Structure 1
Amino acid sequence: MNAVPAGYAPPTGPDRPAPGRRWLRWLLAATVAWAVLLAVLTWNSVRDDPPTVREQRTLAEAGPVVDRAVGELLAAVGDGGVATLAPDRIGQGCRITPLTDGAALERRVDVRVAGDDVRGLLQRVADRLPASWRAGVSVTSEGPVLRADAGEFVTVEGRSTGPGRVRLTADTGCRPIGSGYRAPQARAGAEATAVAEALRALGGPAGLTPALSAAPCPSGGRVAHTARATTGAGPKPLATALAPVAAGAVVLDTVDAYAYRRGPVTVLAERTGDQIHVTATTPCTP
C-alpha cells in the first residue's frame, strides 16, 4: 500500500465532481427556476388580477371611471335640484412615493336646491346610486356627508358648500399620470344657445364663447353637457331680467340664483359679488 503524503488530497477522478461544486450547481439551477417562476406569476397577475392598490392604475386608466361616476351622480340628482357639471380639476405634483410624482383628477357636480334640506338631497342621491358603490350618508361635525366607492379606487363624496348648495365629487387620489386624462368630448349645442340667450337678457356682451363640459349618462348612450359663461352683474334682479326668457318654467328663484327650463336644458344664473355666472345643462335622467 502506498502512503499518502501529509496535506495531499486524493484525486476525485474525472467523473466525480467535488461535492462543493455539485452543491453550487444545484443552487444555481434552483435560483434560475425560482426566478422563472416569479416572472410567470408576475405576468399572470398583471394580466389577470384586479389592482390591489390605487397606484396600479394610471390617471389615464382611472379617468373614464371618474367620468362614468359623474354621470351617475348627475342622474341620481334628477329633479331633486338644479345640477351642473363643473370643470375638471387635475392636481399636479402629489407624491406616489418619496421619489415619484403623480397627479389627481377630481370632477364634480354642483347642485342648487330651493330649500336647505341638504341631508335629504344627499340621501336621495345615495339611494339612487348603484348598490355596488355602498353609498351612505353620515352626520359629521361639518354636517351630513355622502360617501361611496365607484370602483377602481375612485372615491365619491357629497357635502354642503353653503345654504342650498351641495357639491358631489369623484376623485382618483394621487396616481401615475400615464398618457394623461382626456375629458369626454363636449359639443356646443342647445346648452350654448341657452347661455347666449340668458346673457343677452342680462345685458352681457355678445359673442362670448362658453366653456363646455360633458359626462356619459348611465344608460341609453346619452351624454350630459354643461355650457358656462360669466358676465358683469347688471342693476336688475335676476328674476326681473330673466323672467321673459324663462316663460314661466321657473325651477329656482332666490336672491342670488334663478333657474328655469328651456325644453331639456336647465339654465341657472348665480350672482356672486359683481359677477353673474350662467350655466346651461342637459342632464342625465335617473
Structure 2
Amino acid sequence: MKRRWIIAGTAAWALAIAGLAYFSYRYDSPTARDQTTIAEALPTLDAALGSVYSALDPASSVAVLSGYTRTDQSCRVTSAREGTRFERVLMVYVRSSDEGPTLDRIKAALPASYKASVSHSVTTHTLSADAGNFVLLRGGMVAPGQLRFTADTGCRVQDAPVEEATPQSQNANRAPVQAVLDTLAKPASEWRTHRLTCPAGGALWTVEAKAATPDDAKARTTVPPSAVILDSEKLFAYRAGAAGVTLRKDADSLIITSTAGC
C-alpha cells in the first residue's frame, strides 16, 4: 500500500511539473534572448525606429528607412545552436549643429521603458536605448548633419524567412521621386519600397528609385532654399510638403528617396 502511494505521489508530482512547464511556455515572457526568434524581434525593431521617426521635427529633418539587413557577424545562440542577427537602419538628416538637439528631442519622446541615454562631446553625439524584447536601439552622428539609428535583433534563431511588410500600394509616396526624375529627364532603372507600422498607428514609407546619372544639379535648382535641410557634394536633402526627399550620388548613379508617414 505504501509503495502505491509513493508511485501515485511521484506521478502526480510529475504531472504538476509538466503542467507548470507547459503554462510557462505558453504564457510567461522570455527571460533570455536565446528563448526568442528573429521573427519575434522584428516588430520591436520597427516600433523602435517608428518611435524615433515620430519624435523628429518634420519641418527640419529628412529621414530614410532601410530594409532588414542580415549582419556579417556569425554568432551562436548556445554552444550547440547556431544563430543569426538582423538590423534595420533609419538615417536622419538635419541642419548642421542640430545633431545634438535632435538626439535630445528623441530621447525625451521615447517611451520611459526604453531608459534612453544621450552622450554629447565636441565631435560626436550618441544615443543608446533598450527597446525591449532584447532589442538594442543605437543612434549617433556619422557626419555633419547625418544621424544613423540602428535597431538590432541580437543573436537569435531564425525559424522563418525575414520579409518586410507588403506595401499596400507600389505608388505610395512616389510623386516627389518622380518629380526629380522628370526634372532630370531620366527614367528609374530600379524602384524599391520600405515600410513599417508606426507605434501609434499608420505607416512609415520610404520609396527609393535609382537613376543612371550622378548629375543632380538641375534638380537642386528647383528646390527653394528654405526647404533645404542638408546640402553637400554627394547628398542633398530637402522637404517637399509632407515628404522628406534625398538625392544621393553613388558612383555612376543617383539614388532618390521620398519618406513620409507616422
Q: TM-score, normalised by structure 1?
A: 0.79
Q: Residues 142 and 56 from structure 1, CA distance in 2 versus in 1: closer, same or farther, beyond 3 angstroms?
A: farther
Select 2:162's aligned residue among 158, 171, 181: 181
Q: Deviations over 1:5-45 (max 9, x none)?
A: xxxxxxxxxxxx9xxxx67x676555434432321221121
The aligned runs of 1:175-214 (5 Å cut-off) are 175-186=156-167, 187-204=169-186, 206-214=187-195
Name the stretch that deviates more: 141-150 or 93-102: 141-150
The aligned runs of 1:35-74 (5 Å cut-off) are 35-74=14-53
Q: How far did residue 213 of structure 1 move? A: 0.3
2:131 maps to 1:131: no
Structure 1: where are the runs of 5+ without partners? 1-16
| SS, match of residue 38 in structure 1 | helix
Q: How far did residue 188 of structure 1 move? A: 2.1
Distance 2:242 2:122 in 1: 38
2:65 maps to 1:85: yes
Distance 2:19 2:29 in 1: 17
Structure 2: where are the runs of 5+ without partners? none
Residue in structure 1 matched with residue 145 of structure 2 by the alignment: 164
CA RMSD of aligned residues (A): 2.7
**Residue identity opposite 1:72 in structure 2:** S
**Residue identity opposite 1:243 in structure 2:** T
| Aligned residue pairs, count | 258
Residue in structure 2 matched with residue 9 of structure 1 by the alignment: none
Bigger-Rg structure (1/2): 1
| SS, match of residue 178 in structure 1 | coil
| SS, match of residue 50 in structure 2 | helix
Identity among equivalent positions (%) equals 33
Distance 2:35 2:44 in 1: 14
Distance 1:279 1:235 in 2: 16
Select 2:242's aligned residue among 230, 252, 264: 264
Residue in structure 2 matched with residue 255 of structure 1 by the alignment: 232
Distance 1:194 1:159 in 2: 28
CA contact (8 A) 1:60 1:182 kept: no
Distance 1:28 1:247 in 2: 85
Q: How far did residue 279 of structure 1 move? A: 0.7
- Relative to its length, the structure with more strand (as a share) is 2
